[in-house]
Amino acid sequence: MAPLAVGFWEAFRFWLKLGFVSFGGPAGQIAIMHTELVERRRWISEKRFLHALNYCMLLPGPEAQQLATYIGWLLHRTRGGLVAGGLFVLPSLFILIGLSWIYLRFGHVPVVAGIFYGIKPAVTAIVLHAAHRIGTRALRNRWMWGIAAASFLAIFAFDTPFPAIVVAAALVGHFGARRAPAVFTLGGVPGHTASGHGPALIDDDTPPPPHAHFSRVRLAQVLGVGLGLWALAMATLVATQGVQGTLTQMGWFFTKAALLTFGGAYAVLPYVYQGAVEQHHWLSGAQMIDGLALGETTPGPLIMVVAFVGFVGGWLHQVLGPDALFAGAALAASVVTFFTFLPSFVFILAGGPVIEATHGRLGFTAPLSAITAAVVGVILNLALFFAYHVLWPQGFGGRFDAASAVIALGAAVALFRFKVGVLPLLGTCALAGLAWTWLLPALR
């Protein structure tokens, strides 16, 4: 027997809870939603869940947040999608604002510095493990291995821009699927296989609800509202900050970043590093690694590390003046989050009706499969970038940090061999870093 209709406030409570427990990156977050919504609550069937997931994986942006938005929209129209997607992000934003303030205010205190000394090598191992985890799903044949290798060489040896790699991989998938469609078949939820879980509220053969029927008028309305909100926010920043103002530049840069996040947060981090660190100087490379560590310790999508980037940039550039450092930094984090996630809501609310009309006919996933393979190479390059900054903090001409190497190796063994969770790993490495920084003066 299928469950009864889900009330809006019942769904609200679930999305709120999910926002505070969605640890584990996209794979973990999708697995949580699969367990809760498909297996336990039966709000949506396995087939419809995977159909929505495949669409979200084709989009730029955080697929887990978009999946929550999609299911919330199916259940309770536009307000359901806004609530589900918004509550997936807001707890992480508030937590990161608090952690970022602690980091900037007390980061040079020996205890805090020791904690981050241990966390940085752990982050290097986590990124390497992410490359392995995604690679085991994406690199299913020699052609996918070839795409990943070409991607790595392109960004490592030739400094090819990430957008160019995405476009090239998508074209390979598009044209390659015509000759060998089996090579580019897209998988489903990691760790899950399709199986029956009984009737669901939104079942395999449940027709799309009335609000999910495609309408040109509704499509124009959604696009108009989305573009209008973006233009209004950008015009406000230009009027108050000027075209070259820090907040204006953040809004424009993270709009572009939001449209390039194919393959998840790890894939776009090199692009964010290039713009935020090298071009705009909103923060340093070392601070970027620290921000990723904080992002790993909070719920929500990992791309929320951009809130840390915004907070640090707003603080250091004093966007509201020297007497309002926290307010300016919090405003910058909020601005960055708005421009990063606005496109995701537009993609779901505008494209959802089209996708609902195609469930059972998924023939557009080949470009994503190629992009995902390319992302493996990009993430591997990111792991090497982090390793360089952690193990040779003064550059190759400086000393090799043996203690960081030991912590990184231990973290890698814990992840690959013993499958330790991210939070216990970060906690253990933080304690190791703290113990080493306390012990080092005694050894001297």
Rounded average pLDDT over 73-94: 95
Q: What pLDDT sits at residue 2?
A: 60
Separation of alpha carbons 217 and 352, rounded Å: 14
Rounded average pLDDT over 372-379: 82
Burial (Cβ within 10 Å: 0-12, 13-18, ≥19) of residue 281 = exposed
Residue pair 23/423 in contact (Cβ under 8 Å)? The answer is yes
Beta bridge partners of 44: 202
Q: What pLDDT sits at residue 204?
A: 80
Tens of pLDDT, residues 318-346: 999 999 999 999 999 999 999 999 999 99
More confident residue, 191 or 289: 289
Q: What pLDDT sits at residue 188?
A: 46
Q: What pLDDT sits at residue 191?
A: 44
Number of other residues whose CB lies within 10 A of the CB of residue 71 = 26
Residue pair 90/65 in contact (Cβ under 8 Å)? The answer is no
| Closest residue by Cα to residue 19 from 438, 345, 304 | 304
Residue pair 360/272 in contact (Cβ under 8 Å)? The answer is no
Which among 57-61, 149-153, 200-204 has the top mean pLDDT?
A: 149-153
In this predicted structure, the answer to whether residue 308 has a pLDDT above a threshold of 50 is: yes
Confidence category of residue 267, pLDDT binned at 50, 70, 90: low
Rounded average pLDDT over 84-90: 95
Percent of the chain's residues with pLDDT above 70: 91
Q: Where do the H-state alpha helices sit in 22-62? A: 25-33, 46-58
Identity of residue 131: A
The model's pTM:
0.74
Residue pair 345/107 in contact (Cβ under 8 Å)? The answer is no
Residue pair 290/296 in contact (Cβ under 8 Å)? The answer is no
Rounded average pLDDT over 59-81: 92
SS3 assignment, position 202: strand
Separation of alpha carbons 370 and 374, rounded Å: 6
Q: What pLDDT sits at residue 194?
A: 44
In this predicted structure, the answer to whether residue 366 has a pLDDT above a threshold of 90 is: no
Tens of pLDDT, residues 192-251: 444 456 788 988 888 888 999 989 999 999 999 999 999 999 999 999 999 999 999 999
Angle between helices 265-273 and 285-296 in degrees, nearest 10: 160
Percent of the chain's residues with pLDDT above 90: 44
Distances (CA, A) of 238 to 248, 252, 311, 326, 337: 6, 11, 19, 21, 18
In this predicted structure, the answer to whether residue 34 has a pLDDT above a threshold of 80 is: yes
Structure tokens belonging to residue 396: 């190759």
- Beta-strand ranges (E) seen in 66-224 are none
Backbone angles phi, psi at 44, to 5 degrees: -150, 145
Q: What pLDDT sits at residue 263?
A: 60
Mean pLDDT of the residues in the chain:
86
Confidence category of residue 24, pLDDT binned at 50, 70, 90: low
Confidence category of residue 375, pLDDT binned at 50, 70, 90: confident
Identity of residue 3: P
Which among 107-121, 152-166, 409-423 has the top mean pLDDT?
A: 409-423
Beta bridge partners of 202: 44
Residue pair 418/115 in contact (Cβ under 8 Å)? The answer is no
In this predicted structure, the answer to whether residue 62 has a pLDDT above a threshold of 90 is: no
| Closest residue by Cα to residue 238 from 253, 255, 252 | 252
By mean pLDDT, which of 79-83, 182-186, 371-375 is the weakest?
182-186
